[in-house]
Amino acid sequence: MSARRKKKKKTAKTGSTVGSPSVQQRSGTVRAAVTPNQSVSVAPAVKNETRPKKDSQTAQPKKLDRSRVRAIFLDGLLLNNPVLTLMLGLCSALAVTTTLLNAIGMGIATTLVLVISNVAASFLQKRISGSLRLFVHIAVIAVLVMGVDLLMQALTPGLSKSLGIFVPLIAVNGIILARAEAFASGNALGAAAWDGVSMGVGYTVVLCIMGTIRELLGAGTLLGHSVFGSGFQPVLYLALPCGGFFTLACLAALAQHLKRRLGGKRE
């Protein structure tokens, strides 16, 4: 709790969004996705949605109902895509997407960790309070990542080797702690798990697109198989970090453009 208060205090002081950009914006969007008409069917949760959420410990965790399933999934995939809109988890997105296989592997691993971490955060929200909750949560994530790392080393050693230090670095992936704080701490187990899945799918989709582009143009292969033949001159710089930045910039511009168009159509 104190971490969140400290983050809010920080944004007020420096005036710039440090760390988790627009925490308020994210939770605001989730709340906006549920209109009063749709929430009528879930009786106990209605009262809490109309009241502004001040302290997550006094409010009831929001449950998952059919109307929210679609909203949360769209949120994670398109509207608030963790990589393109929220700008989280960029370290691995830029480094790992040199090949499509790496991107898929990293996406699946991160989704797994994200889902279980969200469930844990939702579970812990009432039971432990204060900064101790942050440490417990960090411990859970770290042990989880260690488990995933060992699993990958055992099952897919080649992939684990090519991903290198980025598998242990899933623990500091911005998405995990950000979603735990922004969403999972205020929602029930089902909703938190589904949000983990949606955000993970959104993350994986973006990573796969980046991986495809960078591998096709940067190495001329796809999943290891040569696509263009021997006469093709691959653009080496696309397989390097600068190419990652360029690809991410184009995708982020596309996402912004689509969001504006969709937002304009809705209005």
Partner 1 sequence: MTLFQLVSLAISAIFVQNFVFAYTLGVDSFLAASSKRDTALCMGLAVTFMMGLACVLAYPITTFLLQPLGVEYMRTPVYFLMIAVLARLVEWLLKRMIPVLYETLGLYLPVVITNCAVLGVVLLNTQNKFGFAESAVYGVCSGLGFTLAIVLFASLRERLEFVECPEAFQGIPIALVAAGLLAMACMGFSGLQIG
Partner 2 sequence: MNQEITSTANKSEQPVLPARHFPHISAPMKTRHIMLDVVISLIPSVAVAVYFYGLRALTVTLMSVLLCVVFEFLYRFWLKKPSSIGDLSAVVTGLLLALCLPAAAPYWMVAVGDFFAIIVVKQLFGGLGKNFMNPALAARAFLYSFPALTAVGSASGGWFWKGIWSSVGTASSETPMALMQSGKLPSQSLSQMLFGQHGGSMGETCAAALLLGGLYLIFRGIINLRIPSCYIATVAVLTFLFPLGGNDRLLWMTYELLGGSLLLGAFFMATDYVTSPVTRGGQVLYAIGCGGLTVLLRYFGAYPEGVYFAIILMNTAVWLLDQIRPRRFGAPRFDAWKKRLSVFRKEKGG
Q: Site mask, partner 1, residues 39-78, x = CB under 8 A? A: ----------------------------------------
Please report how close the Cβ of residue 52 comes to partner 1 at its closest, in angstroms: 25
Q: From the list partner 1, partner 2, none, which binds 17 (C-beta under 5 to 8 Å, kind-based)?
A: partner 1
- Select the residue interacting with partner 1 from 34, 115, 177, 182 (CB under 8 A): 177
Q: Is there a contact between 228 and 220 (Cβ–Cβ < 8 Å)?
A: yes
> How many whole angstroms from its chain centre is CA 263?
22
Q: From the list partner 2, partner 1, none, which binds 185 (C-beta under 5 to 8 Å, kind-based)?
A: none
Binding site for partner 2 (CB under 8 A): 233-238, 246
Please report how close the Cβ of residue 206 comes to partner 1 at its closest, in angstroms: 13
Q: Is there a contact between 75 and 233 (Cβ–Cβ < 8 Å)?
A: no
**154 three-class SS:** helix
**226 three-class SS:** strand
187 forms beta bridges with 62
Q: Nearer to partner 2 by C-beta: 139 or 236?
A: 236
> Which candidate, 261, 248, 226, places its Cα nearest to that of 81?
248
Please report how close the Cβ of residue 204 comes to partner 2 at its closest, in angstroms: 28
Angstrom CA distances, 1 to 54, 66, 86, 207, stand at: 11, 30, 22, 32
First to last CA, the chain: 36
- Select the residue interacting with partner 1 from 35, 135, 223, 262 (CB under 8 A): 135
CA–CA gap between residue 152 and residue 164 (Å, rounded)? 11
Interface residues with partner 1 (CB under 8 A) are 3, 6-7, 9-10, 13-14, 16-21, 87-92, 94-95, 131, 134-135, 138-139, 141-143, 145-146, 149-150, 164-165, 168-169, 171-174, 177, 237, 240-246, 248-250, 252-254, 256-257, 260
